[in-house]
DNA sequence: TATTGTTATACTCTATAACTATA
DNA sequence: TATAGTTATAGAGTATAACAATA
């Protein structure tokens, strides 16, 4: 008997916040990088979208522009990100990771992944496969669903 | 080829924050209840653990005692929760939902579930089944893993 | 006029430290 | 002395409103 969308949603609602709490705790625990989850996500996005604008990042992470401007201020001060004007359109920013930013991003991701992996190690290989598959099912639904809307335009 | 724990962790790390963002946004959007995710989780816990102490809730949600004390203050002011002394041990609190608390909890859960369900509706029944199953696999790993440690003592 | 980003300001959430009351 | 909870205080993260610069 397949679960209804509502039943599936109930389970997601019960479990995902706890998973997220573990992720957040791990980010905090790893003092070396000491990034918030949002900061970490911004770095990940920039590592994949070299030269993205502020709006691009804000849009992807789901923060308002002022919040993102603030966050990037912090990352620039920490010398993890550079912010330059885009000559072609001087309203826009071009954001890039510095070498240190790239290193921190990789270190933070490795640390968080290790901690999560340690927990997931309690699962059988087949259960891990199921979890991994579920993530790929959820990815298009929740990660950058804006792309879908944009294509519609 | 089954994914390694590390690979599984990577996918969780990539997808779960986005799912969580959707949950959080939905909580905020539903102005009627206007609860933070933590407040919502506290109400859910209390709806299932009538008379729990402050420490019980803090432990389950993963907040410090002062933070939880604060949060409960807010919920008491909003008349969603009652806080009484426990005569048997007067250091302890007994927390309960009021009728309004119970109603808000149900309404908030229904709203969040509906919004999530709406998104999950884009999936096939079989994909939903896989997601639901994955949640049940993850539940013992991340939801109340403290119980495992306690049992060990 | 519309778009991109910044500044000013305030609120929520959470933490740590120090304290009170009870056991 | 140890435990349960509160108060005081501070910091991080985010939002909205108002603004400046550019297109």
A101-148 per-position pLDDT tens digit: 999 999 988 888 998 999 999 999 999 999 999 999 999 998 865 443
* A111 CB below 7 A from strand C atoms: no
The more confidently predicted of residues A30 and A52 is A52
Distance A90 CA to C13 C1' (A): 37
Nearest to A134 among B115, B119, B130 (CB): B130
What mean pLDDT is predicted for residues B61-88? 94
Interface contact B13-A137, CB threshold 8 A: no
> Which DSSP symbol is given to A3?
P
Q: Could you tell me which of B134, B23, B30, B141 has the C-alpha nearest to residue A141?
A: B23
- Tokens 């990815």 locate to A139
Chain B residues in contact with A114 by the CB 8 A cut-off are: 6, 9
Q: What is the pLDDT of residue A148?
A: 38
Q: What is the value of pTM for the model shown?
A: 0.85
Q: Encode pLDDT of B7-47 as tens digits.
A: 999 999 989 988 988 888 887 777 667 888 899 999 999 99
- Of B23, B139, B148, give the one whose Cα is nearest residue A134: B139
Q: Is the CB of A102 under 7 A from strand C?
A: no
Which chain A residues are within 8 Å of B119, Cβ to Cβ? Answer: 141-142, 145
Helix, coil or strand: residue B95: strand
Interface test with A, best of B7, B20, B110 (most A CBs within 10 A): B20
Residue A59, number of CB atoms within 10 A of its CB: 17
Mean pLDDT along residues B86-92: 92
Where does the pLDDT of residue B148 fall: very low under 50, low under 70, confident under 90, or very high at 90 and above? Answer: very low
D12 C1': nearest CA residue: A36
User: Is B66 (CB) below 7 Å from strand D?
Assistant: yes
User: What DSSP line would sit under A51-98, residue for residue?
Assistant: T--HHHHHHHHT--HHHHHHHHHHHHHTTSEEEEEETTEEEEEEEEE-
Rounded CA separation A61/A27 (Å):
17
Name the percent of chain A lying above pLDDT 90.
65
B70 DSSP assignment: H
Query: In a 3-state reduction of DSSP, which class is residue A49?
Result: coil
Q: Give the pLDDT score at A152.
A: 25
Q: E strand or H helix at B96, and its extent? A: strand B89-97
- Residues A7-36 have pLDDT tens digits of 999 999 989 988 988 888 887 777 667 888
Q: Which of residues 79-98 of A touch strand D (CB under 7 A)?
A: 88-91
């Amino acid at each position: 008997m397949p679960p209804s969308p509502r039943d599936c949603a109930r389970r997601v609602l019960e479990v995902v916040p706890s998973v997220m709490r573990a992720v957040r705790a791990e980010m905090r625990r790893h003092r070396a990088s000491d990034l918030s989850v949002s900061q970490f996500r911004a770095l990940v996005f920039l590592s994949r979208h070299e030269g993205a604008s502020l709006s691009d990042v804000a849009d992807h992470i789901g923060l308002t522009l002022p919040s993102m401007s603030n966050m990037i201020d912090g990352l620039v001060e920490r010398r993890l990100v550079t912010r330059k004007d885009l000559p072609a359109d001087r309203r826009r920013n071009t954001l890039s990771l510095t070498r240190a930013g790239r290193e921190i991003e990789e270190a933070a991701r490795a640390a968080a992944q290790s901690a999560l992996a340690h927990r997931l190690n309690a699962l059988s290989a087949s259960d891990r496969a199921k979890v991994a598959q579920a993530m790929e099912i959820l990815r298009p639904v929740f990660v950058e669903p804006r792309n879908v809307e944009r294509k519609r335009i």
